[in-house]
Amino acid sequence: MAGTTGGTKRWLSPPVLGPVIGLVVLALTWGRDLPGIAAAGAALVLAGAVLAAVHHAEVIAHKVGEPFGSLTLAVAVTVIEVGLIVTLMTSGGEGTASLARDTVFAAVMITCNGILGLSLFAAAGRGGTANFNAEGSGAALATVATLTTLTLVLPTFTTSVPGPEFNSVQLTFAAVASAVLYVAFVLTQTRAHRDFFLPVDQDGKVADVDEHAEPPTRNAALSSLALLLLSLVVVVGLAKVESPFIEDAVKSAGLPQAVVGVVIALLVLLPESLAAYRAARRDRTQVSINLALGSAMASIGLTIPAIAIASIWLEGPLLLGLGPTQLVLFALTMVVGALTLVPGRATRLQGLVHLVILAAFLVLAASP
């Protein structure tokens, strides 16, 4: 009886009910114009799905270990982010030509400054330092810098097509190069040099990565994987349901259309942000960095090839090139990121610097 009661409580727990209720709400609200109260209720359900996604991601991470745990969440979130971008671009409308660029660049800035900065600030503690593996973190940042430059910086300077976009040959190369680099990094992270991406102790040596709590059973991990995917579908689906209200609010406030992409990226990256923060609070800074930079890489390495394929049937231009302000912020992020990660340890100051860069990005996105 005790086992039956425990199983019943588990299936009635918020991490299980959250995505299930979210799926029901998503089915009831999809494709409909919602009044303000209904939109507010959907937003609360969205928040519950985010928390559920974090819980199930941590269960899976505990079962499979690092770096597979953080990789699972990064890829799962990005796959559904791609679906959201393609869906919104297919629907057409003002601003969709630059939606992929705005969302992907926002994801890079949020992950490389927001998630990374918050994680370092939380892990360093008052007067302390956050320790991580400089070899793996540096390799990840170099890959992010290369991917972003190939896909979002170069279109601004190419001359074959007027405007900040690639021609078909250039877009094909960028898509293939992005996929190759991402696959190569995943193989490096999970096979060739897995130890570069494991947590380290105060002396810089690979720490004991086993959690002292009993790992979940295989069935529990599989059910968490299914519920994680369901939670992410609900998060992105409800984000799309809320997108008309976001767009209306952006227009009413007189903000640039690019802000829509920023809000989408913020919503989609909420699960990873919370998971990274909680890992940092447990002195697992490397896990947080894996989530931050891995998400940035997945956002580019999976999104650009998908958008390149979708552009075959999508009408209108595909604007990928960054503007002058975005280029400056990207260059600043990479320089500061390198100075932060190369030593293998950081203080709260470095975390705060990254958070200030993110704040600058958000302010300039709203007021260019």
**Residue type at 367 in one-letter notation:** S
Contact in structure between 274 and 51 (CB atoms under 8 Å): yes
For residue 337, which of 163, 190, 59, 142 has the smallest C-alpha distance? Answer: 142
Q: Please, is 4 exposed, middle or buried when counting C-beta atoms within 10 Å of its C-beta (0-12, 13-18, 19+)?
A: exposed
Helices (H) and strands (E) in the chain, counts: 14, 2
DSSP result, 1-55 = -HHHHHHHHHHTSHHHHHHHHHHHHHHHHTT-PPPHHHHHHHHHHHHHHHHHHHH
Residue 259 structure tokens: 């802000």
Residue 8 makes CB contacts below 8 A (sequence gap 6+) with none
d(CA 246, CA 239): 9
**Residue type at 282 in one-letter notation:** R
pTM of the model: 0.81
Strands 345-346 and 130-131: antiparallel
Categorize the per-residue pLDDT at 337 as very low, low, confident or very high, splitting at 50, 70 and 90.
very high
Categorize the per-residue pLDDT at 313 as very low, low, confident or very high, splitting at 50, 70 and 90.
confident
How many beta carbons lie within 10 A of that of residue 270, not counting itself? 21
Confidence at residue 95, expressed as pLDDT on a 0 to 100 scale: 64
pLDDT 10s digits, 135-188: 999 999 999 999 999 999 999 999 998 889 999 999 999 999 999 999 899 888
Task: For the domain made up of 9-366, give the CATH fold.
Answer: A middle domain of Talin 1 (1.20.1420)
- Helix/strand/coil for 283: coil
Residue given tokens 């009831």 in the structure block: 28
Phi-psi region of 206 (alpha: psi -120 to 50; beta: other; left: phi over 0): beta
Confidence at residue 8, expressed as pLDDT on a 0 to 100 scale: 52
